Amino acid sequence: MKTIGILGGGQLGGMLSESLLKYGAKVAFYDPEPTSPSFHRSPLHFQGSWNDFEKLKEFFSLCDLITYEFENVSTELLESLVKVTGKKIYPSASVLAVTQNRFYEKTFLKENNIPVCQFAFAKSYEDLIQILPTFPKPFIIKTSTGGYDGKGQWSIENEIDISNFITDFTKDKFVEVIVEEKIAIEYEASCIVARNQEGDSLCFPIFDNVHKDHILYNTTIPSMLNKNIQNKLKEIAKNCANKLNIVGLLTTEFFITKQKNKNNSQNETDGFSIFVNEFAPRPHNSGHISRNACDISQYDAHARALLDLPLHEPKLNPGFYCMGNLLGNIWFAQGNKDNLNLSCWKNHPEIIDVYLYGKEEAKLNRKMGHFISYSNKSQEHINAAERFRKDLNEKQS
């Protein structure tokens, strides 16, 4: 029986552990937080810093192989641990080095002729001051590392925005950033590919995504994009997984727009241009929906790839599904940040699943859980999700 070590003890690791246990593996967790919600899932859990080499070495030595649900770990440290312990980490530390740095990620895309927006890299404050006046507006400034759900980003529309940014982002605050073309987004989508050590892979159906305030709001399936665009997204996602030599999962996030791709006109399909936004070499928020909408989930696929079990293309279940994130804001709206009142659920038969992550404290914009709505009619799955959200956001008696 193999022991799979998971770096990170949050909801992604928790749901992955369910699949690993189902396929006969043991699971161990490593996380700095003593109250990590996944620690109760296994007696093999380690609480320690991401910089504690000796503690991490002990963790690695206990496991047959390692994966992660959390990306902000030093790749140099991981490579040293792999070398010292002889244990493998999937996806590899070299993959993580690409995906956790926006400049490396976009450079990888450009070098492999994969559709990506225009971008420039500012390694120094002086670089940034030279780039800002000449880069075509509108654009977005993003920190090269760190940042998620919209953190570490600045939207620039005009000269006033540039002036305000420079006033705030002074030289003493400088960190490496990329400046990238702002896309006039018509649709957002994600495609999840699982790949094993032999190079066999599977591809999930395309998930349509809607973000609000840079945080995933809804994921829906089946996709409303036409089949030609869906097939192109799958082709690109599989190509990316192969080029990165992924073992495990790779999620590719896409922007679809009528704006021309100045870097790569070959990826225009039916009047739309496709841009890769970013990668996630782990289970993805949008993929939660696969637990209900497909015959195997993203977690099953990841587990099968890690355990070298046969992979098969996921089948989409009949009907229409919508996944909505439950943010900590709802707890505050209800007036009780310690507990979520779900008494209104009984009035919403279309809501087939509510999954709470077990986090101790609700915070604004913190992902505390998700729900799934189902309908046999198009659009009704989305309408049902909105009705449920509206009820949840009202103060419960």
Alpha-carbon distance 156 to 168, whole Å? Answer: 13
- 10 labeled binding residue: no
- 153 labeled binding residue: yes
- 277 labeled binding residue: yes
- 151 labeled binding residue: yes
- 58 labeled binding residue: no
Amino acid residing at 200: D
- 308 labeled binding residue: no
- 147 labeled binding residue: yes
Alpha-carbon distance 176 to 153, whole Å? Answer: 12
- 259 labeled binding residue: no
Q: Which residue is it, tokens 């209104």?
A: 344
- 198 labeled binding residue: no
DSSP, res 331: H
Alpha-carbon distance 388 to 353, whole Å? Answer: 12
**Which candidate, 376, 378, 377, 357, places its Cα nearest to that of 367?**
357
- 148 labeled binding residue: yes
- 260 labeled binding residue: no
- 197 labeled binding residue: no
280: number of Cβ within 10 Å? 20
Alpha-carbon distance 77 to 111, whole Å? Answer: 27
Q: Tell me which long-range contacts 77-80 makes (C-beta under 8 A, separation of at least 24).
A: 77/50, 77/51, 77/53, 80/53
Alpha-carbon distance 149 to 146, whole Å? Answer: 10
Residue 19 CB contacts under 8 Å (≥ 6 apart), including other chains: 297, 299, 300, 302, 303
- 182 labeled binding residue: yes
Known binding site: residues?
A: 102, 142, 147-153, 180-183, 188, 211, 277-278
- Which residue ranges make up the annotated binding site for ATP? 102, 142, 147-153, 180-183, 188, 211, 277-278
